[in-house]
Every structure is written in C-alpha cells, then in structure tokens.
A and B are shown apart, each in its own frame.
Chain A
Amino acid sequence: EPEVTQTPSHQVTQMGQEVILRCVPISNHLYFYWYRQILGQKVEFLVSFYNNEISEKSEIFDDQFSVERPDGSNFTLKIRSTKLEDSAMYFCASASREGTEAFFGQGTRLTVV
C-alpha cells in the first residue's frame, strides 16, 4: 500500500541551527501538507502546497519556515534558525484531490536543545 515516508524519524539540533525535514509523498498525490504536534497537544496545520506553491499557511509558519519540492518526489520543510519551542513531531501529509483524506507519514520528532 502506498505510504508517505518521512526522514529522519528523530532529529536533535542545537538552538539557532537550521534543520531540513524530508518527506516523500504518495507518488500520484498533488496536495502536500506539513503539520506539527507538540507533545500531548493536537495536530496543528502549518502549510499546504499545491502546484509548486504555498496555497495556505498558518500563523505558526513564519519567516523562519519554508517548504520546497525540489525534484518532483521530495517535499521538504526547512526551519532556518530553530528555537526551543520548535520541538515537536512534524508530520507530512499528501492528498490526491482537494478536500479528500490526507495520508500522513509517521512523523519526524524534532528536539531543539
């Protein structure tokens, strides 16, 4: 069964460092998303991406965040200068059509120290 894959599963980084979280969405999907989940809290929307551009972003997704689809298969989330409060699980998701179920990856646990 097709699945969304994310790497790495766990990333530890020092405050102020840049991190890139990687995702390979399901191959025929066109809509891509990043979500984050702080420990014990709900899953929060960060950004949606379609047709090689951001279609929507939340207030969390500030200038420190960026997304890219560099090669037609990968979908990355970059945090330029990490803060302690960026520590969370980051989930990538993809969907075949707008307004349909999104399939989530297993997440990357980001720990900023």
Chain B
Amino acid sequence: GESVGLHLPTLSVQEGDNSIINCAYSNSASDYFIWYKQESGKGPQFIIDIRSNMDKRQGQRVTVLLNKTVKHLSLQIAATQPGDSAVYFCGLTLAAGNKLTFGGGTRVLVKP
C-alpha cells in the first residue's frame, strides 16, 4: 500500500525567510502529488500539485520538488509571511485510483 510521512512536525521560520517542508512516500506507483495548507478551524486548501512525470513545479511564492529516486517531495515557500502560518499536508494518489492519501502534517510557525 501507500503511506506518506513528514520529517518534521513543527517548523519555526523567521518572517521573510524561506521555508522548506519535506515529505517521504513509500509507493513508487504514486502518480500525483499535492500540497495542502490547513489553517486552524478550516478545511484543507490546495496550494500546488505535481505529476510524476515532472520534478519541479513553481507557483506564486511556492515550489514543489519531486525526487522519485528517493521518493521524496518538498514544498518551498519563498519569503514566508505571517499568513503562511498553518499546517501543511502532502498528499498523493496512485496511478490506478483517485484516493488522495495525506501525510501527518507539518505545522509552520512564522515568527515576526
């Protein structure tokens, strides 16, 4: 089966610095990867996604990197802002199905 895990439960970062959140997965058949942000009391909010045929994708202030060799996914947030404080979840689906499986979440705390 598939499993998704995160390296650090909490990440403290100074406002203006870059943040990197890491995620490891176990199933090499994983086809689609996604990052969500969850603020307190709210539902997960889509940030960025990437398919297995890519190794990098950029959005507004965010970059997702995929290393299929070591089954590692990361989210980079440039110039972290107080509004970026939240829990970040990585997720994936297998090529054969549409079930989105989430990792345990990393809490990002932005210090002013």
Contact = CB atoms under 8 A, between A and B. Distances in A.
Interface of A: 4, 31, 33, 35, 41-45, 48, 50, 55-56, 58, 91, 93, 95, 98-107
A103 B46 CA distance: 7
B19 interface: no
B46 to A, nearest CB: 5
Nearest to A58: B99
Contact of B97 (A41, A56, A101, A107): A56
Given A43-B44, A91-B43, A101-B34, A48 B89 contact: no
A54 to B, nearest CB: 11
A111 B61 CA distance: 38
- In this complex, the interface size class of chain B, counting residues with CB under 8 Å from chain A, is 20 to 34
B31 A104 contact: no
19 contacts: A42-B105, A43-B44, A43-B102, A45-B101, A48-B99, A50-B98, A55-B97, A58-B99, A91-B43, A91-B44, A93-B100, A99-B31, A99-B93, A101-B46, A103-B46, A104-B36, A104-B44, A104-B45, A105-B43
